[in-house]
Amino acid sequence: MKIAIAQLNPTIGDLTGNALQILMAARAAEQQGVRLLLTTEISLCGYPPRDLLLDPGFVDSMAASLEQLADDLPPALAVLVGFVGRNDSSHFQGGKPIFNSIALLEQGKVQQTFHKRLLPTYDVFDDKRYFEPGLESNSFVLDDVHIGVTICEDLWNDEEFWGRRNYAVNPITDLAELGVDLIVNLSGSPYTVGKQLLREAMLRHAAVRYRRPILYANQVGANDDLIFDGCSVGFNCVGDTVCRARAFESDLVVVEFEQRDLQLGSVALMPESEDAEIWHALVLGVRDYTRKCGFSKVVLGLSGGVDSALVAAIATAALGQENVLGVLMPSPYSSEHSIHDALALAENLGIQTHTLPIGELMQGYDESLAELFVGTQFGLAEENIQSRIRGNLLMAISNKFGYLLLSTGNKSEMSVGYCTLYGDMNGGLAVIADVPKTRVYSLCRWRNSKGEIIPASILTKPPSAELKPGQVDQDSLPPYDVLDDILQRLIHEHQSAAQIVAAGHKPIIVDRVIQLVARAEFKRRQAPPGLKITDRAFGTGWRMPIANKWVSGMGSGGASLGSFSVPSTELALQNVGASELLLKLPD
């Protein structure tokens, strides 16, 4: 029996367009003699539909689209399509009104439906907000082959593999006990760095443990902050990889099931390195967000720094040089080399630039505020004005010409708040908001290894916001390798201050970084969606209170903060909603 995986790129809520994609894949599969076609989780509406699921009209339309699709598909092909099923008994028995479901379509009809059993409710996942879990094992028989059906999380609860249980039940064990010949999994599993290695280790473990072949179909494409990498894959019952779809691209993979096992087919290569993987993920993220929101061109500020250089390079790869506009907005504090570096970058990329000096606008604000600010020192208020002038100019261009504004802040600065709200944070999409500064450099080097486009001086000069004379980032922040290691431990590994210090960091630095992360919450709350590439990104999976006295790893804030002798006005300023102050770190 020939089985195919349609690794497609749906747009959320585009029922007609997504059904058409499935239909075209089905016709291509039929021509190759395929008997069973797999799509991915909720393939008809795309994953994740979020609160569209609360709209009864949306659920009704999806049911109608499913019927129509069943009618349109080649009748002799069996197709598994993800949709949203109704839980008709919820009214009387309690529970959510819908299921996360799969329909088996064949001969113009819905032959059978299956419901997702394990509902992830962590990180970006809110499955229990919407869905009732299925309680039964899901399987069907096709041409004497007994096939077990699972949906995404159903496969992620192997206590042998994880060393702990996440859910009371294990749908894979249940299917093995049912004696199925093959297990299929239809997923909407977002990309994070290195995740495919983890998935394949887990799938291999399950194939070997239960001596069953497994076919894993994953969505591809980006939807808002989430990038889906595809990488659909199959394992035979001794744990060999028998097929793999391409990473970060739509694909149709065909594999043979014979002699009660999957046979070796086409195995696409994985990206060569983590940097390659992240690069392709971000390129896909920019392309899909731009396209799915109805834009064709983007604009961004080019400072001559490494962050905007990387974002410009990614945008150019995603959309083509003719669709990227770089804007230089030098101030009197901008260095000659910054302007030169930005122009050299643009020339290498072949993108258009405009230069809009902001000195006179800075003077205008100074004059407007002179009376009110009389007797005060140049400080963060004045630094932020510069960043907000630039933000305003970029939005004016965006509004005037209909270009999507990309923001260029990295994860290190988003973590500690080294960025200006309503200034450099402006944009429809924050391309590298989940990329730590050290990774920004390694991505640039990786890209340059394929042909130098980012001028070397951008990678070698000390990073600076250039908001006052002679300023460099390391006036206010520890070196980025130190900062990024502390952030990794704090944010990803939930380490306490004591644990981070035990790893070799200075206590004063650790405490300051922890405080800065807590206090920057108000900025992150107003940030644009950022493309997620790690297991803990700011955004939909990060839900922190703002008015909050707990400082992670340091206990209730009051006392700890006092011990650093920070003036209380500065603390208040940083705490919420009003200021972009950073504590100056002592030497």
Give the footprint of a second copy on residues 216-255 (CB under 8 A).
223-224
Report 82-141 residues binding a second copy (CB under 8 A): 90-95, 121-122, 126, 128-129
From 30, 45, 116, 411, the catalytic residue: 116
Q: Does 161 bind a second copy (CB under 8 A)?
A: no
> How many residues sit in the footprint of a second copy (CB under 8 A)?
124
Q: Which of 114, 295, 418, 480 binds a second copy (CB under 8 A)?
A: 295
Per the omega criterion (within 30 degrees of 0), is the bond before 545 cis? no
Sheet containing strand 233-235, edge to edge, reads 139-142, 145-151, 182-187, 214-218, 233-235, 241-244
Q: Which of 1, 14, 195, 271 binds a second copy (CB under 8 A)?
A: 14
| Residue whose token pair is 């993979």 | 253
Q: Which of 545, 563, 586, 587 binds a second copy (CB under 8 A)?
A: 545
A 10 A CB-CB count for 52 gives 17
Any catalytic annotation for residue 41? Answer: yes
122-129 long-range Cβ contacts below 8 angstroms, 24+ apart: 122/541, 123/535, 123/536, 123/541, 124/48, 124/190, 124/225, 124/226, 124/532, 124/537, 124/539, 124/540, 124/541, 125/48, 125/153, 125/541, 126/48, 126/50, 127/100, 127/153, 128/96
Any catalytic annotation for residue 116? Answer: yes
Min CB(469)–a second copy separation in Å: 19
Report 274-293 residues binding a second copy (CB under 8 A): 288-289, 292-293
Min CB(156)–a second copy separation in Å: 11
Closer Cβ to a second copy, 163 or 451, answer by number: 163
Min CB(16)–a second copy separation in Å: 5
Binding-site string for a second copy from residue 337 to residue 356, where x marks contact by CB under 8 A and - marks none = -----------------x-x
Q: Are 432 and 532 in contact (CB under 8 A)?
A: no
Of 409, 450, 415, 413, the residue nearest 429 (C-alpha): 409
Q: Does 20 bind a second copy (CB under 8 A)?
A: no
Tokens of 20: 């058409």
Q: Does 424 bind a second copy (CB under 8 A)?
A: no
Q: Which of 241, 353, 392, 474 binds a second copy (CB under 8 A)?
A: 392
What is the C-alpha R_g of the chain? 26
Report 425-454 residues binding a second copy (CB under 8 A): 426-429
Amino acid at 447: R
Q: Which of 268, 369, 459, 566 binds a second copy (CB under 8 A)?
A: 369
A 10 A CB-CB count for 555 gives 13
Report 29-88 residues binding a second copy (CB under 8 A): 45, 48-52, 54-58, 61
Q: Does 266 bind a second copy (CB under 8 A)?
A: no
**What residues form DSSP beta bridges with 517?**
none
Q: Which of 259, 460, 563, 569 binds a second copy (CB under 8 A)?
A: 569
**What residues form DSSP beta bridges with 112?**
104
Q: Which of 72, 240, 265, 373 binds a second copy (CB under 8 A)?
A: 373
Do the strands 109-115 and 98-106 form a parallel or antiparallel pair, or are they unpaired? antiparallel
Any catalytic annotation for residue 413? Answer: no
Q: Which of 32, 266, 273, 296 binds a second copy (CB under 8 A)?
A: 296
| Secondary structure, 3-state, 290-337 | HHHCCCCCEEEECCCCHHHHHHHHHHHHHHCHHHEEEEECCCCCCCHH
Q: Does 23 bind a second copy (CB under 8 A)?
A: no
Residues involved in catalysis? 41, 116, 152
